[in-house]
Structure 1
Amino acid sequence: MVSRSTRVLAAITLACAGLDLVVLAGFHLIQPEIDPLTSATSEYVHGKAGAMSSVTSAAVGLGAVSLAVAVWRITVTVSARVGAGLLAVFGLAKLAQSFFPIDAGGATTTGLMHNLLGNLAFLVLPVAAILITPAAARACGRGQPGWWPRLAAWLIVLTSVLVLVGDGVGLFGLAQRIYLVSAALWTALVASWLWSARSRDQAAQNQVGDAGQNSGGQQAPQGPSGSGL
């Protein structure tokens, strides 16, 4: 069971993941000059509606931090809480990255910070996903069958490796987009478990209602019947 405030955090994560996916899809329509096969998504910041790139980065960070707090609340194992901490690092890195756009040309301190923060976020997310997903699934009653939450986590690892491979063969843009979509879907998946889990408040209300029905349904004991005169 989760608290109402934890479900609010999950809703924030869902909204941020949705915004991320919508804006990413929109950029492909309004900036067709950016090659999705070879160019990084960060390059959208220098084109039409480029400010939305920074907004989206901040939204991804906010959603990740919200999910990290929610996971910390519902889990008790050391591994899951380490994962929540790493997810918070990912979120804070994305929040900070929104203030450091990628270089349009040449090398600047801003561009260097963008790359450093992006690399940090890229490195910690797969580890966070592996540590968080099974524990969150169990806490929300989604742990059966046990293999599929692990599969969802390892897909993040797989797409992370795909980014490295894509960078080596000249398809970094495509691989990065697959990774970003999978990351957004993973956060939305875990957040949806939290959102749909039975809340403590609802459980308490149900218990009170059940107790009232039981007490109301009981009949008062009858005294011994008197003898006829």
Structure 2
Amino acid sequence: MAKQLVMVKSLTMTGSRFALASIIAGGLFVLLLSSLHLLEPEFDPTWRFISEYALGDFGWMMHLAFGLLALAQISVAITIFPHIRTVTGYIGLVILGISAIGVIIAGIFVTDPITVSPDDATFSGSMHSIGAMLDYTPVAALLISLSLSRLDVWRPMKRVLLTSAIIAIVAMLLFVIQIPQDGQFGPGVLAGMFGRFLILADIAWLTIVGIHATKLGASKKM
């Protein structure tokens, strides 16, 4: 019990601000992404990736959105670090950190249009793809949720944490299934739609963790 109280205090002193930052960053990411659907309607959301918004007139908004997503991931990792005490949890944190690095890389380098053949990929497009492939936030979410659920202060959120993490895992699998083996994308290939479901599922889990951590910080101050 004493150890758990120390961990909650640590969250209150350093984690609450990062928890709030993750919530704000996640909300702004959704706002920017939603706006890009209206500002750049030439990218069909059913089969064009969100990364391609960086190719349009408002590309800077997509770069900013990627930065906000990475900020949300890093903020959550810092917030929950004092509460991780299992190997599973630490592995999840490492994966979340790698995912954030991948998102940063994807945000720096502009993707190639989805219609470009892998053989004709540019350096920027290749680097973007490498960054995107490093993002395994759903796996991190599941491992971290299993670890946090062992603590009394997180146990009331066990069902919500695990459900949201599993939804993200399912979304990731459905997205992977949509990727054509020959690499030929086009209307009818719903990779874009499932990719959007995946990113929203990631944001949902990050936000859930951030909100509960914020509540823990507030209750400790009281």
Scaled by the length of structure 2, what TM-score is found?
0.83
**Hey, what's the Cα distance between the residues in 2 that align with 1:56 and 1:108?**
22
2:72 is aligned, of 63, 83, 99, to 63
Larger radius of gyration: 1
In the alignment, is the contact (CA less than 8 A) between 2:111 and 2:128 conserved in 1?
Answer: yes
**Hey, what's the Cα distance between the residues in 2 that align with 1:201 and 1:17?**
24
In the alignment, is the contact (CA less than 8 A) between 1:4 and 1:199 conserved in 2?
Answer: no
> Identity rate of aligned residues, in percent?
22
Distance change in 2, residues 1:200/1:181 (3 Å)? closer
Which residue of the partner structure matches residue 21 of structure 2? 12
Which residue of the partner structure matches residue 158 of structure 1? 170
Q: How many residues align?
A: 201
Residue identity opposite 2:74 in structure 1: V
Q: By how many angstroms is 1:99 displaced?
A: 1.1
Which residue of the partner structure matches residue 136 of structure 1? 148
How do 1:166-205 residues align onto structure 2 when only pairs under 5 Å count? 166-168=178-180, 170-198=189-217, 202=221
What whole-Å deviation, never above 9, does each CA across 1:99-152 have from its counterpart, x for those lacking one? 11102454211110100110111xx22221111123335547342374442222
Matched, 1:82 2:91: yes
* Structure 2 unaligned regions, length at least 5: 1-7, 181-187
Scaled by the length of structure 1, what TM-score is found?
0.81
What whole-Å deviation, never above 9, does each CA across 1:64-87 have from its counterpart, x for those lacking one? 111112221222122112211211
Q: By how many angstroms is 1:58 displaced?
A: 1.2
Which residue of the partner structure matches residue 213 of structure 1? none
Matched, 1:120 2:134: yes
Q: By how many angstroms is 1:4 displaced?
A: 2.9
Which residue of the partner structure matches residue 33 of structure 2? 24
**Hey, what's the Cα distance between the residues in 1 that align with 2:203 and 2:176?**
19
**Hey, what's the Cα distance between the residues in 2 that align with 1:140 and 1:25?**
37
In the alignment, is the contact (CA less than 8 A) between 1:83 and 1:129 conserved in 2?
Answer: yes
Q: By how many angstroms is 1:5 displaced?
A: 1.6
In the alignment, is the contact (CA less than 8 A) between 1:126 and 1:153 conserved in 2?
Answer: yes
